[in-house]
Structure 1
Amino acid sequence: MNKPKRLMPGSKIAIISPSNGLPYLFSDIYELGLQNLQHMMGFEIIEMPTARMSPDELYRNPRWRADDINQCFEDDQIDGIITSIGGYESVRILPYLDTDVIMNNPKFIMGFSDATTFLAYFNMLGMITFYGPSVMAGIAQMQHLPNGYTQHVKSILLEDRYPYAYRPFAEWTNGYKDWSNLDTLGECREFHHNEDGWTFIQGNSTEVGYAWGGCIEVLEFMKSTKYWPSGSFWDDKILFFETSEEKPTPEQVGYMLRNYGMQGIFQQIKGVIFGRAKDYSYEEKQELNQILRSVIGDEFGANTIPIVVDVDFGHTDPKFIIPLGGLLQLSATTGEIVLLESPFS
């Protein structure tokens, strides 16, 4: 695995909009996210040409979005890259990415949701990438999220203390207050106490593997393309999935998982981590858990690998940062998720 260089206060972070142009529509929440990166993390910000483009411009020009990423990896002055927000069709930028430049200049790159496309693709090619908060969703809200969230971000990005044990946050929320209301800018919707943390719904062993995954619906866009992994890539992987604000039903998630089973993937991997499903009721979560056990364990016979659900990452907040290609330990016996070694060089 090509590992990026570790970030530090003063690192120059490029901001890109590879999916949707929401900074153009909601500039105040975007500016708040930039301020937090500067004042709370100590980063220097470089805005790429796509960062504030309109949604229409970005939609019509996937090459421009890819060119920003290419330029970020080519520019020695840029230390890392963070997406402004997600979207729905960044898969269209993949043909325009200069993978030779990118793989020869590994750098920190982070996003979530629709960023799954290039994060997963770059990792398939051999570079560690980072599934975590974006400028407008997760970083702009830092002052209003539970104690420990900002320290988690700093621990992963700025410190070098490994193994790193993930811990459930004390509270969580399904989303944010209106971005057009300056009186509540950066605030979150109702918080829920995280009394039970995450839950292992299958397995009784401790497994070690390399993390790979993202938004389960976005990964569907990549299947049967040349950007989708195959063969031995799946060996010793721990898959992590989460659902978007579009809220696929538990049954629809089962359809998606069944395709992994038909590819033989569940026989190759070491475990599955499922993020807290956004806007799901208690009953819907129970149905999802049953489908996970049924499809993975019963239909495809992978009934001994650990499966853990309601983990703090993805479209609810606060969000863990999970490195694609990071070495994880998943223990059903102790209930632990541990990042065993640094994802940085």
Structure 2
Amino acid sequence: MIKPNSLKPNSTIGIVSPSSWMNKDDMKTAISVFENKGYKIILGDYVYQKKDTFAGTPEQRAKDINGMFANPEIDAIICARGGYGSNRVLPLLDYNLIKNNPKIFMGYSDITNILIAISQVSKIITFHGPMLTSFKNGNVDYSFNLIEKTLNQFTNLKINSPAKLPITTLKNGFAEGNLTGGNISLIVSQIGTQNQIKTDNSILFIEDTDEYLYALERMLIHMKESGLLNKIKGLIVGEMTDIHDQKIPFGKSTDEIILDIFSDIDIPIISNFPCGHGEFQATLPISINAQLDANSQIPSITLLENPVKNE
């Protein structure tokens, strides 16, 4: 895998909107968080475009991403927000250009499939982590500190959850594998396509938001029946925010659904990990070797190799 250059002090960060557009006032607040930390921000040409729910046409959104990778002034690329629309951008990305100009690329939610595609096609380590929208109300120390720790060189990095978000151990154990994953509905949307996620020998992390309990179970069964779960080494379930029930109760919580679907899969499983749509967001490199410790009283993930390089 190709490692992008690290995020150094005073680096220049490019902002793109691959999916939906972001409120200007929220964006200004979030940009000030990065600027106050010493980073220079350059916006993509079409970041403020509005075409219905989208931040411009698919061609405009893809042009911004390709342009940021091609621009030698840009050190790292962070997405403004998710929403919907990245699936229209995937076939328009110049994966050879991206491979020849490796840079930090970070986002989550609807950005999941861009992270996976760049990782699997361009062979560049990408990062599931905070976007501008994560800081629309100001800085979140936990999330920003982990951005800077993860995007700089280290021997290994242990990631714990903040005290306000205790992790739940669903199945004890210890596992090692390549870290990959993202939003469940986005992962499921690419099953059977050329951009289907590769999960063999992985520690898989998943999260979702604004779904019904029955839909969550349906998507997990889809993943299982497609074979995506056959060879995973461990499972990290992020915060499952705004998960709804119906008038007639579904009868199982999110954790109970996970335990049911994975009842015959002997791997360590933790839930309520800080990745996804909650207040706290860890930065997780995709395709980096990691350890999942679900045996300790305080479960954790340890990144076993550096996802970036210094030049």
TM-score by length of 1: 0.82
Shift of 1:50: 1.4
Residues 1:313 and 2:275 aligned together: yes
Asked if 1 retains the 8 angstrom alpha-carbon contact of 2:78 and 2:107, the reply is: yes
Q: Partner of 2:63: helix, strand, or coil? A: helix
CA offset digits 1:93-150 (Å, max 9, x no partner) = 1111111111122110111111112011111222111111111x2233343x4x5443
Residues 1:288 and 2:282 aligned together: no
List alignment gaps of at least 5 residues for structure 2: none
**1:167 — aligned with what?**
160
Q: RMSD of the TM alignment (CA)?
A: 2.2
- Work out which of the residue numbers 200, 213, 222 in structure 1 matches 2:169: 200
Residues 1:240 and 2:205 aligned together: yes
CA offset digits 1:306-325 (Å, max 9, x no partner) = 11100011101111111111
**2:220 — aligned with what?**
257
CA offset digits 1:233-261 (Å, max 9, x no partner) = 422111111112xx212221111111221
Map residues 34-49 of structure 1 onto 2, 5 A cutoff. Answer: 34-40=31-37, 42-49=38-45
- Work out which of the residue numbers 214, 221, 228 in structure 1 matches 2:182: 214
**2:305 — aligned with what?**
341
The separation in 1 between residues aligned to 2:25 and 2:288, in whole angstroms, is: 34
**1:278 — aligned with what?**
241
User: 1 or 2, which has the higher helix percentage?
Assistant: 1
**Amino acid of the structure 2 residue aligned with 1:238:** I
Asked if 1 retains the 8 angstrom alpha-carbon contact of 2:188 and 2:223, the reply is: no
When residues 59 and 51 of structure 1 are mapped into structure 2, their CA distance, relative to the original with a 3 A threshold, is: closer
Asked if 2 retains the 8 angstrom alpha-carbon contact of 1:142 and 1:150, the reply is: no
List alignment gaps of at least 5 residues for structure 1: 172-193
The separation in 2 between residues aligned to 1:336 and 1:59, in whole angstroms, is: 36
**Amino acid of the structure 1 residue aligned with 2:46:** T
Residues 1:127 and 2:96 aligned together: no
**1:266 — aligned with what?**
229
Asked if 2 retains the 8 angstrom alpha-carbon contact of 1:13 and 1:79, the reply is: yes
The separation in 2 between residues aligned to 1:160 and 1:141, in whole angstroms, is: 29
**Amino acid of the structure 2 residue aligned with 1:239:** L
Asked if 2 retains the 8 angstrom alpha-carbon contact of 1:277 and 1:285, the reply is: no
TM-score by length of 2: 0.91
Residues 1:17 and 2:13 aligned together: no
**Count of equivalent residues:** 303
CA offset digits 1:165-203 (Å, max 9, x no partner) = 1111123xxxxxxxxxxxxxxxxxxxxxx3xx111202x
Shift of 1:164: 1.0
**2:111 — aligned with what?**
115
Asked if 1 retains the 8 angstrom alpha-carbon contact of 2:184 and 2:208, the reply is: yes
Q: Partner of 2:285: helix, strand, or coil? A: strand
The separation in 2 between residues aligned to 1:260 and 1:58, in whole angstroms, is: 28
Shift of 1:336: 2.3
**1:154 — aligned with what?**
148
